[in-house]
């Protein structure tokens, strides 16, 4: 847990160390000040108020120092908090900015957002609310044990032996509920997933709720969550009881020892100073126990803190894409895949199995194949969403791994389904593609993307704000602005996914037009969906089960009557599909 | 579940927390009382030590040693016993509170789910599913510190303070007054802290909002900025927001921390001990009390510190729990689709559908549809065409009652949709939309979602009709394969599963949103065949993106800007030379019409 915190703090780790040391010193000082009550009480009980005064002054002085130190400890704790809220947030930001684009799935994005906001806030408050009381609660009793040894060694010995025993009890009870804790988190995650599904698939669930089936799965998941929660409660209640009983058993042992000794003394001659010492020792024992009880009560809080830090650690453990030490610039606008293998997760089958492909600069290549055949993955690997698992991907004759991310970004523009817009105006969003573009150039790009008309209709024109994430625009408009953004970049290589970017007729027309215009001017790699696009291509690559099964010009492939020919037939058939009037009796469709 | 829901909603004026906790209020009170009594008992050993000190240091010589010994043992025995019993009571209290928390969170989750199951579907489209999850899972989990911990913490603090104060005052009221001095001091500092906190609260909250939206933009925008190599763009505003927040955080906490440090130092056991001993020495020197009398105060007074601190920490958490409770309550009060009185229920006679002057507006100003009237005669095919944004999808969603029209009404078999039981609607109106939603369950359960009691034969027949039966059999566990686990289906295959699901319900009316746009070539044909088969003999409403697919429809409605601009058959509309004719020309379908021979190539 500490390791994660130190990692999270990075260069700010000294801030935490300073804080921790201050908290330890504070604990020691508290212990010493409490110890000062020994001589005070000793003389007081001997009815010697005169000799009490210097010790009492020492105690009060210690009290004031404790008081002042407490303030510094808390301020140091706040500094740790600020280091987390500022330094660690920056560090996490820098880290995720280097992660492969492919990592940014909706789930990961949501998780990241949660950690950066709430997660960091919770961790930042740990020093003040959790660490300070625990450190002080552990250190102070250690000092008191020393004092007990001086006053009455048997009590000191019991207290000393008790500390490691108690520590192992705490560790044991922590492990007792750990499994139940993990099970609960699993059920919680399951139920959360069901809730997301419940919200996303609400229309379907409701429409198909004829026999109450729509709620059933959610009900089951929430019930499972309740059951595992109840199990965790019983186990952690058990651990809490064990913890406090362990502390109380120590208390009882100390009490009984003291009583035994006192009774022995009462039987013989009364050594007043010895009895006074034991009575004072019992007072120290009560302080000792009080501290330990407080620490034992932090079990659940610590478990929560571990969970929060764990979520942060997981993010830091995601490997960023390696950047080369001596980046090489691409020579031209060619693309090449050499015997590429790729899979999305270690336990999943390969999506690409030995794909080799050469795309000449300035040519147009259409990737076709059934969904799951790997064509999207090929496009993603060219844009370095991920690194190939085996084999290499080259752009301009240079392996992507030997290229800096800026060089690659300068080489490639992409029109995928990603149409996230930033808060700001339409112009600002299009200008992301080329920061120095003039308004006229932006309007040109907008015209190509089919949004010029819409922009001209807006009273503020290009300066119209799009809202957070582009909420003020419709989905199609957002997508077309994203297309304008990609077009204005004017990169030597353009990747287009027609299947996801050309959802409606208007976008289809925009993309077809852009492809026709750019053909021959830059390297085009298109995941093709429309017949017209495929027909335009210089080269067609047919993928099946992660392998290239056919490759050639449209004319060549038509000749050989293979999969491409079948694709053409299916496409034609699909295009000819008509919904027939039901009244015609026989549903010829 | 739904019958107990009003219990949560009823007590109109009470605070959000009270209202959320109503069902378990009794249990929480019991838990708090147990914790209070238990804590009182756990303090007995302190008094016990004081008593032992009194007898061994006081007039021990006067009494017989044996009697003193017995008394010591009795004291030790009682102390240890009350300590263990006390802790047991506290534990039982905690257990009750936790179990009550377990129950109420489950109850709230189900209450929210039931509520949301009857809000307009449009509510879901305007919200990220993450928000619903946040409220139903995370916010309700946040209530934990309130339900499971707060009441027992109050019980413990009250118990400890009460018994200590009584005990100390009974011993000597003057010493009691001075020994308890630090505690009012704590509250003074605390109030000061709260006040200085409130001064900067607004700035802090504003910064918090800013960093939250900067974070959203940052994490969502990374893929974009990486693609454009301008990583600086989103990063900069994130960095600025982080720095701005840190600054506000320091500004907010600095005065707070100072006052809080004073407050905490005030009730540190050391402080209380120091005060007791200092005044004790003075009192002894004045001869007001004997030295032994100081001991009980030195023992018991510091014992108040821990429960008080715990209570304070709990109060701190209470803020976030209140916010969570408010969000949960807001969700529980989401307006539902216009409720129907039992007597008002109508049963549709026949399957004709009429739109009567239907209008729909998103929010205040955005009028999506206005004064739309038409009839879907039983057994006919009606196509809706028009540019994107014309309101085609809104029209379909109104018919499916994803939301209710803001003007006019829609009737099914003469009955207003709003007065028909929703199960009745969906038995009659099936739909296949572009967006496919399968749930995380077996393929069989997915197909049988609307009719869990359907037989295997019926399910397989539906799958066959949807051209997906063979594919399902090829899955590792056939119909038992779980979607997303061992049933990895492509988009087009998922679409066919969703068609099988609709087929199984066998609705007389079918709404199609041209469902094949994103599918692959082979899938598209398979889907089209499945749909053709399914559509036979049903009343059909088709949202068409490609005009040629619906050129044979009985009637084509051309929507523009939320109103019907033209209607008629393909031939009529072409002859008119209006909008439809222009759209047709623009779409370049000419060559396809010529090549309509292609239509005969296909199997059906």
Per-residue pLDDT of chain A (589 residues; tens, 9 = 90+): 778 888 888 888 899 999 999 999 999 999 999 898 888 888 888 888 888 889 989 999 999 999 899 889 989 999 999 999 899 999 998 888 888 888 887 778 878 888 888 788 888 888 888 898 889 889 999 999 999 988 888 889 999 999 999 889 888 888 887 788 888 888 888 888 888 888 878 877 877 766 566 688 888 899 999 999 999 888 888 888 888 889 989 999 999 998 888 887 776 555 667 788 888 888 888 888 888 888 887 877 787 788 888 888 888 998 888 888 888 989 999 999 999 999 887 777 888 999 999 999 999 999 988 777 888 889 989 988 889 989 999 999 999 999 888 888 889 988 876 678 888 889 988 988 888 889 999 999 998 888 888 888 888 888 988 877 777 777 778 888 888 988 898 889 999 887 666 556 667 777 888 888 888 889 999 988 777 788 889 999 999 888 999 888 888 888 888 888 887 887 777 777 777 654 443 333 3
The strands making up A523-527's β-sheet, listed across from edge to edge, are A412-415, A493-497, A523-527, A364-368, A539-544, A547-552
Inter-chain residue contact B243 with A86, CB threshold 8 Å: yes
Residues A276 and A411 in one domain: no
Among A287, A254, A289, CA closest to A156: A254
Inter-chain residue contact A208 with B84, CB threshold 8 Å: no
Inter-chain residue contact A286 with B60, CB threshold 8 Å: no
**Which residues of B fall within a CB distance of 8 Å from A209?**
117, 422-423, 426, 450
Q: Which chain B residues in 297-336 lie under 8 Å from chain A, judged by CB atoms?
A: 298-299, 302-303, 306, 309-310, 313, 316
Q: How far is A357 from chain B (nearest CA, A)?
A: 22
pLDDT for B589 equals: 67
Inter-chain residue contact A233 with B302, CB threshold 8 Å: no
Inter-chain residue contact A589 with B239, CB threshold 8 Å: no
For strand A412-415 and strand A352-359, is the pairing parallel, antiparallel, or unpaired?
Answer: unpaired
Residues A276 and A133 in one domain: yes
Q: Which of A249, A282, A317 is the last residue of a domain?
A: A317
If DSSP states are collapsed to H, E and C, what string results for A477-503? HHHHHHHHHHHHHCCCEEEEEHHHHCC
Residue of A nearest to B272 (CA): A63
More confident residue, A164 or B596: A164
pLDDT confidence bin for B9, thresholds 50/70/90 = very low
Find tokens 């000294």 and name the residue.
A14
Kindly report the length of chain A: 589
Residues A67 and A141 in one domain: yes
Residues A284 and A410 in one domain: no
Domains of chain B: 5-332 (1.20.1560.10), 353-596 (3.40.50.300)
Establish if B67 touches chain A: CB-CB under 8 angstroms. no
Residues A310 and A399 in one domain: no
In a domain? residue A55: yes
Can you tell me the ipTM of this complex?
Answer: 0.80
In a domain? residue A466: no
Q: In whole angstroms, what is the distance from residue A146 CA to residue A142 CA?
A: 7
Q: Which chain B residues in 382-441 lie under 8 Å from chain A, judged by CB atoms?
A: 383, 387-389, 400, 402, 422-423, 426-427, 430-431, 433-434, 437-441
CATH of the domain at A260: 1.20.1560.10
In a domain? residue A66: yes
pLDDT confidence bin for B538, thresholds 50/70/90 = confident
Q: In whole angstroms, what is the distance from residue A208 CA to residue A37 CA?
A: 75
Q: Which chain B residues in 191-220 lie under 8 Å from chain A, judged by CB atoms?
A: 211-213, 215-220
**What domain range is A171 assigned to?**
2-182+230-317
**Which residues of B fall within a CB distance of 8 Å from A211?**
450-453
Residues A39 and A95 in one domain: yes
pLDDT for B297 equals: 92
- Mutation pick from A180, A199, A374 vs chain B, by most beta carbons of B within 10 Å, is A199
In a domain? residue A385: yes
CB B368 within 8 A of CB B353: no
In a domain? residue A131: yes
Tokens of B492: 């087009």
3-class DSSP state for residue A386?
A: coil
Closest residue to A282, CB basis, from B49, B88, B102 = B49
Among B446, B545, B448, CA closest to B494: B446
pLDDT for A356 equals: 93
Q: In whole angstroms, what is the distance from residue A577 CA to residue A588 CA?
A: 10
pLDDT for B31 equals: 94
3-class DSSP state for residue B499?
A: helix
Instruction: Please count the structural domains in chain A.
Output: 2
Closest residue to B528, CB basis, from A97, A372, A577 = A577
In a domain? residue A454: no
Residues A42 and A130 in one domain: yes
Residue of A nearest to B533 (CA): A587
Residues A570 and A519 in one domain: yes
Residue A84 CB neighbours (<10 A): 28
For strand B415-416 and strand B407-412, is the pairing parallel, antiparallel, or unpaired?
Answer: antiparallel
Which range among A61-65, A537-541, B4-8, B561-565 shows the weakest confidence by mean pLDDT? B4-8
Residues A100 and A173 in one domain: yes
Report whether pLDDT(B10) > 60: no
Residue A176 CB neighbours (<10 A): 15
Residues A354 and A300 in one domain: no
Residue of A nearest to B366 (CA): A472
pLDDT for A505 equals: 64
Inter-chain residue contact B242 with A267, CB threshold 8 Å: no
pLDDT for B516 equals: 54
Residues A344 and A400 in one domain: yes
In a domain? residue A433: no
* Predicted confidence (pLDDT) per residue in B212-234, tens digit: 888 888 888 887 777 776 655 56
Q: What is the mean pLDDT of the segment spanning B519-533?
A: 72
CATH of the domain at A526: 3.40.50.300
Inter-chain residue contact A66 with B265, CB threshold 8 Å: yes
C-alpha torsion B340→B341→B346→B347, nearest 10: 90
Q: How far is B452 from chain A (nearest CA, A)?
A: 7
* Predicted confidence (pLDDT) per residue in B425-445, tens digit: 888 888 887 777 888 889 998
Q: In whole angstroms, what is the distance from residue B519 CA to residue B496 CA?
A: 11
* Predicted confidence (pLDDT) per residue in B320-368, tens digit: 788 788 888 888 888 877 666 666 778 888 888 999 999 988 766 667 8
In a domain? residue A31: yes
Report whether pLDDT(B307) > 90: no
Residues A68 and A156 in one domain: yes
**Which residues of B fall within a CB distance of 8 Å from A197?**
129, 439-440
- The dihedral region occupied by A486, where left means phi > 0, alpha psi between -120 and 50, and beta the remainder, is alpha
Residue of B nearest to A197 (CA): B439
Q: In whole angstroms, what is the distance from residue A298 CA to residue A240 CA?
A: 10
Tokens of B480: 């038992």
Tokens of A405: 């991310």
Q: In whole angstroms, what is the distance from residue B239 CA to residue B237 CA?
A: 5
pLDDT for B583 equals: 82
pLDDT for B7 equals: 36
pLDDT for A338 equals: 94
DSSP-assigned beta bridge partners for residue A338: A392
pTM (2 d.p.): 0.78
**Which residues of B fall within a CB distance of 8 Å from A500?**
518
């Amino acid at each position: 847990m500490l390791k994660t915190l130190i990692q999270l703090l990075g260069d700010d780790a000294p801030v935490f160390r300073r804080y921790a040391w201050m908290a330890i010193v504070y604990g020691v000082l508290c212990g010493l000040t409490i110890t000062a009550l020994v001589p005070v009480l000793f003389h007081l009980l001997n009815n010697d108020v005169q000799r009490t005064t210097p010790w009492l002054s020492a105690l009060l002085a210690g009290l004031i120092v404790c008081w002042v130190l407490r303030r510094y400890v808390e301020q140091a704790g706040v500094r740790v908090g600020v280091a987390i809220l500022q330094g660690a947030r920056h560090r996490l930001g820098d880290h995720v900015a280097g992660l492969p684009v492919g990592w940014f799935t909706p789930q990961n994005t949501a998780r990241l957002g949660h950690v950066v906001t709430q997660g960091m806030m919770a961790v930042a408050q740990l020093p003040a609310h959790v660490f300070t009381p625990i450190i002080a609660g552990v250190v102070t009793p250690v000092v008191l044990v020393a004092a007990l040894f001086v006053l009455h060694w048997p009590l000191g010995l019991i207290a000393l032996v008790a500390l490691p025993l108690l520590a192992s009890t705490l560790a044991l009870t922590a492990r007792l509920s750990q499994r139940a804790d993990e099970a609960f988190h699993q059920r919680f995650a399951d139920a959360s997933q069901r809730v997301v599904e419940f919200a996303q698939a609400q229309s379907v669930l409701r429409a198909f709720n004829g026999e109450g089936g729509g709620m059933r799965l959610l009900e089951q998941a929430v019930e499972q969550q309740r059951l595992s929660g109840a199990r965790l409660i019983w186990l952690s209640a058990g651990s809490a009881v064990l913890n406090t009983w362990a502390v109380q058993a120590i208390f009882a042992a100390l009490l009984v020892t003291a009583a035994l000794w006192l009774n022995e003394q009462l039987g013989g001659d009364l050594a007043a100073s010895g009895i006074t010492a034991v009575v004072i020792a019992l007072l120290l024992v009560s302080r000792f126990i009080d501290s330990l009880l407080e620490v034992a009560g932090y079990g659940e809080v610590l478990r929560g803190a571990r969970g929060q830090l764990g979520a942060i650690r997981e993010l830091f453990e995601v490997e960023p894409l390696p950047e080369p030490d001596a980046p090489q610039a691409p020579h031209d606008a060619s693309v090449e895949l050499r015997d590429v293998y790729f899979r999305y997760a270690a336990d999943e089958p390969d999506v690409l199995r030995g794909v080799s492909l050469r795309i000449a600069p300035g040519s147009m290549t259409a990737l076709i194949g059934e969904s799951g055949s790997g064509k999207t993955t090929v496009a993603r690997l060219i844009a370095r969403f991920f690194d190939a698992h085996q084999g290499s991907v080259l752009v301009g004759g240079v392996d992507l791994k030997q290229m800096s991310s800026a060089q690659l970004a300068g080489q490639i523009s992409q029109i995928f389904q990603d149409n996230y817009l930033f808060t700001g105006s339409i112009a600002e969003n299009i200008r992301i593609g080329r920061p120095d573009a003039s308004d006229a150039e932006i309007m040109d790009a907008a015209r190509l993307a089919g949004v010029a008309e819409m922009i001209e209709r807006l009273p503020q024109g290009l300066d119209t704000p799009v809202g957070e994430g582009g909420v003020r625009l419709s989905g199609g408009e957002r997508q077309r602005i994203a297309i304008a953004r990609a077009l204005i970049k004017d990169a030597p290589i353009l990747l287009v996914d027609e299947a996801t970017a050309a959802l409606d007729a208007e976008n289809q027309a925009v993309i077809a037009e852009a492809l026709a215009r750019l053909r021959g001017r830059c390297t085009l790699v298109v995941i093709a969906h429309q017949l017209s696009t495929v027909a335009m291509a210089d080269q067609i690559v047919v993928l099946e089960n992660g392998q290239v099964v056919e490759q050639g010009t449209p004319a060549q492939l038509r000749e050989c009557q293979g999969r491409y020919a079948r694709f053409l037939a299916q496409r034609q058939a699909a295009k000819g599909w008509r919904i027939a009037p039901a009244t015609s009796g026989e549903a010829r469709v | 579940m739904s019958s107990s829901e009003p219990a949560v909603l009823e007590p109109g004026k009470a605070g959000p927390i009270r209202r959320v906790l109503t069902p378990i209020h009794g249990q929480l009170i019991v838990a708090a009382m147990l914790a209070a009594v238990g804590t009182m008992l756990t303090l007995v050993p302190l008094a016990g030590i004081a008593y032992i000190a009194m007898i061994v240091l006081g007039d021990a010589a006067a009494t017989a040693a044996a009697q003193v010994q017995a008394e010591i043992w009795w004291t030790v025995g009682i102390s240890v016993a009350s300590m263990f019993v006390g802790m047991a009571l506290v534990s039982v209290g905690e257990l009750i509170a936790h179990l009550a928390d377990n129950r109420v969170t489950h109850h709230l989750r189900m209450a929210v789910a039931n509520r949301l199951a009857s809000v307009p579907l449009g509510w879901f489209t305007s919200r990220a599913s993450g928000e619903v999850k946040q409220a139903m899972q995370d916010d309700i989990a946040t209530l934990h510190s309130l339900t499971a911990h707060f009441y027992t913490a109050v019980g413990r603090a009250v118990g400890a303070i009460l018994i200590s104060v009584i005990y100390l005052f009974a011993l000597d009221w003057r010493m009691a007054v001075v020994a308890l001095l630090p505690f009012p001091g704590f509250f003074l500092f605390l109030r000061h802290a709260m006040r200085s906190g409130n001064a900067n609260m607004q700035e802090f909250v504003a910064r918090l909002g800013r960093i939250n939206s900067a974070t959203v933009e940052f994490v969502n925008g990374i893929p974009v900025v990486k693609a454009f190599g301008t990583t600086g763009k989103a990063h900069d505003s994130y960095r600025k927001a982080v720095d701005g927040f840190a600054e506000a955080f320091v500004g907010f906490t600095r005065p707070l921390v100072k006052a809080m440090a004073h407050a905490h130092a005030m009730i540190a056991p050391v402080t209380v001990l120091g005060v007791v001993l200092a005044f004790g020495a003075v009192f002894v020197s004045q001869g007001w009390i004997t030295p032994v009398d100081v001991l009980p105060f030195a023992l018991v007074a510091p014992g108040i510190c821990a429960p008080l601190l715990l209570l304070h920490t709990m109060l701190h958490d209470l803020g976030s729990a209140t916010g969570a409770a408010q969000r949960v309550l807001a969700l529980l009060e989401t307006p539902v689709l216009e409720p129907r009185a039992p007597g008002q229920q109508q049963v549709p006679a026949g399957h004709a559908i009429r739109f009567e002057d239907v209008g729909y507006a998103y929010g205040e100003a955005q009028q999506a549809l206005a004064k739309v009237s038409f009839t879907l005669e039983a057994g006919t095919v009606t196509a809706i065409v028009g540019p994107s944004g014309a309101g085609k999808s809104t029209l379909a969603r109104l018919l499916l009652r994803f939301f209710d029209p803001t003007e006019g009404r829609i009737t099914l078999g003469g009955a207003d949709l709003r007065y028909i039981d929703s199960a009745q609607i969906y038995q009659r109106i099936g739909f296949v939309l572009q967006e496919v939603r399968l749930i995380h369950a077996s393929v069989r359960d997915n197909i049988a979602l609307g009719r869990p009691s359907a037989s295997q034969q019926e399910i397989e027949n539906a799958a066959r009709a949807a051209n997906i039966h063979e594919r399902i059999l090829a899955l590792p566990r056939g119909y038992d394969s779980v979607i997303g686990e061992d049933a990895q289906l492509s988009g087009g295959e998922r679409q066919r599963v969703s068609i099988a699901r609709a087929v199984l319900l066998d609705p007389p009316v079918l709404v199609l949103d041209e469902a094949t746009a994103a599918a692959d070539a082979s899938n598209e044909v398979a889907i089209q065949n499945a749909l053709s088969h399914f559509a036979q003999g049903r009343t059909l409403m088709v949202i068409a993106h490609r005009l040629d697919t619906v050129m044979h429809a009985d009637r084509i409605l051309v929507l523009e800007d939320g109103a019907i601009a033209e209607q008629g058959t393909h031939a009529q509309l072409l002859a008119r030379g209006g909008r439809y004719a222009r759209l047709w020309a623009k779409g370049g379908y000419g060559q396809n019409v010529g090549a309509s021979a292609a239509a005969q190539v296909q199997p059906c």
